[in-house]
Amino acid sequence: MAAILDLVLLILRIVTFIIIVQAVLSWLVAFNVLSIQNPTIRNIWSGLERITEPVYRPIRNILPPMGGLDLTPMVVLLIIFFLERVIIRYGYSVVPL
């Protein structure tokens, strides 16, 4: 059971890393440091978008529009951090060693 919890925590950390990379990439594209016209950047961008969009979509349906500000990645990261803390605090205490 502890191995399953470790695997879930690893997956949550990987998703956190992907969300942070996607957010930084979106800032670089927004400030014209990187161009979507570049095929490599476009492939990375579309791949990250395909990974994160299914996670973002339900939260975007709940959050009200904030103009040009997208708070969805921050909300997802807060949910992930909460899940990690719950698993660490309560999940491992239930598992016999």
- Give the CA count within 13 Å in the CB-facing half-sphere of 64: 1
- For residue 96, is pLDDT > 70? no
Structural domain boundaries in the chain: 1-94
pLDDT at 94: 75
Q: Is the pTM of this model over 0.75?
A: yes
pLDDT, tens digit, 9 for 90 and up, residues 11-60: 999 999 999 999 999 999 999 999 999 999 999 999 999 999 999 999 99
